[in-house]
């Protein structure tokens, strides 16, 4: 079952730039307002051309105006690929965390394993989603393909509306 509004983030270890640098997803949002968004994978077309740029183009000041202290992008990728992909977006306030074994993705019930995706990317990935968080508690959530939500409902404009 997928995480829902009112739930708390699970504790799950993520890789921050390399496999040797692990952080707990739950701890990142403890005591803070934040945004967590997930993408199916680094270098994939929509993620690269539209989804991540929608967040990168929001300035740190714009997030602060909404009270948002941390913005995290996650995907089921190894830390090396995810870090290299993050670098293609230049200087940004978005933090990129890899979920190489799908620990966080599975704990939140957000695994994406549709046959066309498996054929294209080889293994289950993270659904495209965005959630607003307040002290680790979900205050807003949009998951692409669920409840009539499209990819665009997971972009930064939707995240800003959570606060």
Catalogue the active-site residues: 47
Check if the beta carbon of residue 24 is closer than 8 Å to that of residue 122.
no
Check if the beta carbon of residue 5 is closer than 8 Å to that of residue 138.
yes
Which DSSP symbol is given to 11?
Answer: P
In three-state secondary structure terms, 130 is strand
Check if the beta carbon of residue 72 is closer than 8 Å to that of residue 106.
no
d(CA 87, CA 149) in angstroms, rounded, equals: 29
């Amino acid at each position: 079952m997928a995480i829902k509004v009112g739930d708390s983030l699970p504790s799950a270890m993520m890789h921050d730039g390399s496999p040797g640098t692990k952080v707990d997803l739950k701890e990142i949002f403890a005591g803070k307002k934040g945004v967590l968004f997930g993408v199916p994978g680094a270098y994939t077309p929509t993620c690269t051309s539209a989804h991540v740029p929608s967040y990168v183009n929001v300035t740190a000041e714009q997030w602060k105006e909404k009270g948002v202290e941390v913005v995290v992008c996650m995907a089921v990728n190894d830390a090396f690929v995810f870090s290299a992909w993050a670098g293609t977006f230049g200087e940004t306030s978005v933090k990129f965390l890899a979920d190489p074994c799908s620990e966080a993705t599975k704990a939140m019930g957000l695994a994406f394993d549709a046959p066309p995706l498996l054929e294209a990317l080889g293994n289950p990935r993270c659904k495209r989603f965005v959630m607003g968080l307040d002290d680790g508690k979900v205050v807003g959530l949009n998951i692409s393909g669920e409840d009539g939500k499209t990819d665009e409902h997971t972009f930064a404009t939707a995240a800003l509306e959570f606060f």
